Amino acid sequence: MPPLEPAGPPTRPPRAQAWVQGAAAAAAELPGPTAAPFRARWLLWAERQHTRTWHQPWLNLAFSLAILFRCWYLLAPLTAAWLAGSIVLSAADVAWRESAPDSYARWREVPAVAARLLAFGPTATWVLMRAVLDDHGAPQPDSVGGASSSAAAATSVAAEAVQWAAHLARLLFASGAAKMAANALSFRTCLGPSFAVQLALLLAAGRHTRLVCSAAAFSHPAAQRRTRQLHRLFTSLAGTAVASSASPAAPCLRSPVDDCATIITWLRLALALLLPLLVEASTEARLWRSHQVQRRQAGLPPEHCGRLQLAVYRAARWLGVGWGSVGGDGGGVEDARLAGGALHAALVTWLLLAAAWEWCTCILRL
């Protein structure tokens, strides 16, 4: 009788192996007992991420103090009261977290929501931003005259590039989108409350868009020219992805403030709403999957969630940023799948940004 060969471990297809490895890696990140609800385990995970990486209350406190020391001469009573409230809230957040970490972990979403709303919800935020843009914003005029040498031409091109970079930085600063996105990804809440907070901030900021767009930084003819060119560029790029709704005569009827308001609104929609939503949806979908895998391995029934929540998780997977995004050792086929998923996510992102631009153009034309 021939000797029996030792049976090796059963092999899995590359895709199944990648799924198992991805679920195991995500399960290792999710703290707390397996029988606990997903929300309780998510709060523990968020606090652990907060402790390891951001230390955002300290950064927010330092940011508020930096505004105080840098812009003290621009403060009116309204903006001074807002800045004082921001400093007090940041200090209270730090004190609560350091003195009662268990209580803070259970209720951490309350100060997170308060900090995000206080940062860009009040009118005082945009009044101070308008004062800063008036104080520091007057751009240099366009260079005139022809260049007589290649060195002079290169200097002129470099100066124009610097002015363009400064103008883009002013638009990003005036939108507040980068700080809104940073707050959303550091003062983290569950996906539903986070979306509601970001949407409320966008609606509150929209009431003051024309206030910042009429500042000195955007009223100079050179700044208005760059804003108009940037608006035309974005319109052309969006038109290649979606059917443009702008008529040929529409650009001539728009004012410089309209162009500025469209760009700033689009920056807020893309950076302050879509970007945090995609990141948080992909992260929460991955953690939800690991939570269900752990419950099944422990012999517990799966936890149920609402249909809308499940649809968002599935959309995150469909976009290629959620479940199944961790690759395994699958060779060329697996690499091709990952490359196709990355291309798919890039195309969907492009379509979302183009649709957001068209929406901003239509809304501000009403």
Q: With a cut of 70, say whether residue 312 has pLDDT above it.
A: yes
- Measured distance CA(143)–CA(126) in Å, rounded: 32
Q: The whole model's pTM is what?
A: 0.78
- Measured distance CA(167)–CA(161) in Å, rounded: 10
pLDDT score at 152: 67
Dihedral angle sign, alpha carbons of residues 74, 79, 81, 85 = negative
Comparing CA positions, the residue from 226, 269, 225, 227 lying closest to residue 357 is 269
Comparing CA positions, the residue from 254, 174, 163, 252 lying closest to residue 216 is 174
- Which whole number is the average pLDDT over 297-321? 80
- Give me the DSSP letters along 43-74: HHHHHHHIIIII-HHHHHHHHHHHHHHHSGGG
- Measured distance CA(326)–CA(309) in Å, rounded: 22
CB atoms within 10 A of CB 182: 19
Query: Which of 163 and 155 is assigned the larger pLDDT?
Result: 163
Encode pLDDT of 318-346 as tens digits: 665 443 443 334 444 445 555 555 676 67
57: amino acid identity, one letter? P
Check: CB of residue 226 under 8 Å from CB of residue 147: no
Q: With a cut of 80, say whether residue 5 has pLDDT above it.
A: no
Lowest mean pLDDT among 68-82, 134-148, 171-185, 309-323: 134-148
Encode pLDDT of 245-254 as tens digits: 444 444 445 7
- Which whole number is the average pLDDT over 287-311? 87
Sequence-separated (6 or more) residues with CB below 8 Å from residue 289: 23, 26, 313, 323
- Measured distance CA(113)–CA(27) in Å, rounded: 27
Contacts 24+ apart (CB under 8 A), 31-35: 34/294, 34/295, 34/298, 34/300, 35/295, 35/298, 35/300
Q: Which helix (H) or strand (E) holds 236?
A: helix 221-239
Q: With a cut of 60, say whether residue 295 has pLDDT above it.
A: yes
